[in-house]
Amino acid sequence: MLEVRDVCFSFDGERNVLEHVSLVVEPGEHVVLLGPNGSGKSTLARLLNGSLVPSSGCVRVDGRTEELARLVGYVRQDPRNQIVSAVVSDEVAFGPRNLGLPRDEVLRRVDEALEACGISPLRDRMTSELSGGQQQLVAIAGVLAMRPRYLVLDEATSMLDPASRERVAHIVDHLVASGLGVLEIAHRRKAGAREVFLDRGRISYQLPASAELPQKKTPRSVSPGCSQRGLSVSNATVLGRLRLVSQDFQGLVLVTGPSGAGKTTLARVLAGVLAPDSGEVTLDGCRVRPGDVGLAFQRPEDQLFCDTVLDDIAYGPRAHGLDEEEALAAARTAAARLSIGEELLDRSPFALSGGQMRRVALAGVIAARPRAYVFDEPTAGLDARGVREFRDLARELADEGATVVVITHDPEEWDGVADASVELAPAEPCPPASRPRVPGAYVPGNTLVHRLDARAKLVLLLIATVASFAAPAPWGLAVVAAGLAVALAASKTSPATVLLGLRPAAIILLLSLVSNAVVLIGQPGFSLAGLTRSAVVICRIALVVGFALSFSATTAPPAIADAIASLLAPLGRLGVPVGSIAMSSSIALRFTPLTVEEVERIRCAQRARGARLDEGGLTARLRSWAQVLVPLVVGLFRRADELASAMCDRCYTGEQTALLGRLATMGGAALLGGVLWAIAAMLL
């Protein structure tokens, strides 16, 4: 059994989050853990899989107190905080590889887990390009591939549409029937599950499994107010996939639709932080600018970026021109409306529970008192009281004259409250060409370079780097450039990508070119020799960047890690931590697109609350961008911490089963050809 015996836990050594909690989950039993936000549910979940250690008491799994992560699978509320790899199949394989299983067994478990979750067609897709529901299924598959004895779901369905929830529920029922014990943290009762209610760190009561649940009561009907402000969208097209005919939003309007229908995209278009390809969005006849419409993001952590709760809520009022005293007063008023206690105002927003974090994000939106609001899944993760209070608040805002758009997967929560509803049909898949990519980020494909063994590609990259710097100009460099042209063509990498890869260093390269071309000491003037010398250096750098981008765009980070581990294997016998070095390289590559994503997240959140980052003179723009740097560093550290925690949840210790087989003939031939090509370039 999964047993919690008299457990207490404290983060600071003073105030206990959990007080003498005892709980048992039997094999083949489904237990639902209920309770208000901040009651300690997620803390208890992390204790169950060994992520946290009790201050007192103990957690046992089938009588054992060690290797809990191997025995208890843990699925988080937000799959982005759990996904480690860039490709679906690699993500599902991550856990089994950490267990040291043979290569064939790892691949077999990947196939079985993908099939069990009904996502086999997604195996070669990028994890970042999946819908929220698909990402959650991938996260579940990654845990199931480890074949745990018990499974903990931490509000794993709170952000999913009804169809995805039903699929997860079916998977859970199948697992329970097969003998797996499941503890599910939720805000809703589940038919056939034993209920445990946690309140203020203590278990207040337990109820046996019930075959039927009481009928849900229809919420109290509220007479709609007379909204005088209208938010309108006219013939908008976004990324060539979301098309909206003319639509007026007035009063309290629900927007529904399946995952991937474009609801979040619509939210950002309505708030003015994402410009449509065509058409326009207006508020009271004027084109919407960022800050005119309050926007609450689907994931509250995407919206938070300040050091304290109070500062985060006050950011919008400050951006709208209120002085410090007025901004803080507006922030405190908004906090009170969302039932955020004074004791939380000086805490970091990222130290709060999921429900508390959402309340802070919502308070940050209403504090600036915009003329219209767009709330993207505002009740996800809220307890019953929070849902009820927010529903009443949204109705109050509409009655006060604001337009309120609520994007939701739970329209029944708004029965008798909303004035109207709009349902989005499933959108067409976004074509790859329209998706902005970081230069060099891995792109799945089936080109000749994609199919080449990662070890051969890594050695070829080293050979190309040496050739780029050692080949004499001009003919040797011409041969190297010809090799790059072949690599780009074989990998279907656009030459424009090389220029984009050079853009971050463009100013430095330009200054180098000018400084070498102009002589200031001795006999001042223009130096053709200096210009030529500098141009040659820039060409060499461009060649290396081109080869590196071609390599990284066609090689998944886990394959790069495997290649590094394989090539450095002899050093492992000397005590060198080859596995850790390889994984560090893989993580570094993964953090390149994550950094860009984090910058865009912060800029979008700040613009949504009225910050003008791209307006004014140079000094004003630099000051605005300085406001991005601090939260960027904090955000990257937070993402790194989440990634480390997710890796520990799946038993990562530094060594993994390699998925690379023997070097194929094509890889050997490519290596031979690369050596001959490099020799030819350096001899010319």
Q: Say which residue, 416 or 218, is predicted with more confidence.
A: 416
User: Residue 677 — very low, low, confident or very high, per pLDDT cuts 50/70/90?
Assistant: very high
pLDDT at 227: 44
* 368, amino acid identity: A
Q: DSSP per residue over 336-360, as a string?
A: HHTT--GGGTTS-GGGS-HHHHHHH
Q: Which of 453, 31, 396, 460 is nearest to 225 (CA)?
A: 396
pLDDT at 224: 45
Is 26 a residue whose pLDDT tops 90?
A: yes
Q: Which of 681, 157, 241 is nearest to 465 (CA)?
A: 681
Indicate the SS3 state at residue 684: coil
Residue keyed to tokens 């402000």: 229
* H-run or E-run covering 6: strand 2-10
**Angstrom distance (rounded) from CA 574 to CA 676:** 32
274-317 pLDDT tens trace: 888 788 888 888 888 888 899 988 878 778 888 899 999 998 89
84-123 pLDDT tens trace: 888 899 999 999 999 989 999 999 999 999 998 889 999 9
Token pair of 86 as six digits: 């860039």
Task: Confirm if 290 and 608 have CB atoms less than 8 A apart.
Answer: yes
Is 213 a residue whose pLDDT tops 60?
A: no
Burial of 299 (0-12, 13-18, 19+ CB in 10 A): buried
Q: SS3 sequence, 436-489?
A: CCCCCCCCCCCCHHHHCCHHHHHHHHHHHHHHHHHCCCCHHHHHHHHHHHHHHH
Q: Which of 520, 652, 523 is nearest to 586 (CA)?
A: 652
Token pair of 352 as six digits: 């709060």
Q: What are phi and psi of 318, to 5 degrees?
A: -65, -45
Token pair of 517 as six digits: 């071309």
pLDDT at 584: 81
Average pLDDT over residues 483-489: 91
Q: Which of 605, 557, 652, 643 is nearest to 78 (CA)?
A: 643
**Angstrom distance (rounded) from CA 320 to CA 334:** 15
Is 23 a residue whose pLDDT tops 70?
A: yes
Q: Which of 641, 635, 637, 638 is nearest to 604 (CA)?
A: 635
**Angstrom distance (rounded) from CA 604 to CA 275:** 12
Q: Which of 174, 212, 171 is nearest to 192 (CA)?
A: 212
Tell me the range of 125-129, 257-261, 331-335, 615-619 where mean pLDDT is highest.
Answer: 331-335
Is 624 a residue whose pLDDT tops 70?
A: no
- pLDDT mean across residues, the chain: 84
Q: What are phi and psi of 260, to 5 degrees?
A: 85, 0
The full set of domains in the chain, from first to last, is 2-207 (3.40.50.300), 231-428 (3.40.50.300), 448-683 (no CATH)
Task: Confirm if 88 and 123 have CB atoms less than 8 A apart.
Answer: yes
Token pair of 218 as six digits: 């229809």
Q: Say which residue, 531 or 72, is predicted with more confidence.
A: 72
Q: How far is CA 176 from CA 29, 31, 69, 342, 377, in A?
A: 6, 10, 19, 43, 29
Is 429 a residue whose pLDDT tops 80?
A: no
368-379 pLDDT tens trace: 898 899 999 888
Contacts of 557 (CB under 8 A, 6+ apart): 85, 86, 90, 442, 586, 587, 589, 590
Average pLDDT over residues 236-259: 77
CB atoms within 10 A of CB 205: 10
**Angstrom distance (rounded) from CA 407 to CA 256:** 6
Phi/psi region, residue 610 (left: phi>0; alpha: psi -120 to 50; beta: rest), is left
Token pair of 400 as six digits: 């006060």
Q: Any idea what DSSP says for residue 160?
A: S
pLDDT at 435: 47
pLDDT at 505: 66
**Angstrom distance (rounded) from CA 54 to CA 333:** 37
Q: Say which residue, 504 or 490, is predicted with more confidence.
A: 490
Residue keyed to tokens 């959140």: 605
Is 410 a residue whose pLDDT tops 70?
A: yes
Task: Confirm if 392 and 419 have CB atoms less than 8 A apart.
Answer: no
Burial of 645 (0-12, 13-18, 19+ CB in 10 A): middle
pLDDT at 633: 79
Token pair of 681 as six digits: 């370039």
Contacts 24+ apart (CB under 8 A), 504-513: 505/541, 509/538, 509/541, 512/537, 512/538, 513/538
Length of the chain: 684
* H-run or E-run covering 23: strand 16-25
Contacts of 334 (CB under 8 A, 6+ apart): 313, 363, 364, 366, 367
pLDDT at 332: 94
- Looking at the DSSP bridge assignments, the partners of residue 421 are 254
Phi/psi region, residue 288 (left: phi>0; alpha: psi -120 to 50; beta: rest), is beta
> Which segments within 26-137 are labelled E, that is strand?
30-34, 56-61, 72-75
Q: Any idea what DSSP says for residue 523?
A: S
**Angstrom distance (rounded) from CA 298 to CA 409:** 11
Average pLDDT over residues 354-369: 88
**Angstrom distance (rounded) from CA 197 to CA 26:** 17
Contacts of 680 (CB under 8 A, 6+ apart): 479
* H-run or E-run covering 597: helix 578-608
In the chain, count H helices and then E strands: 22, 21
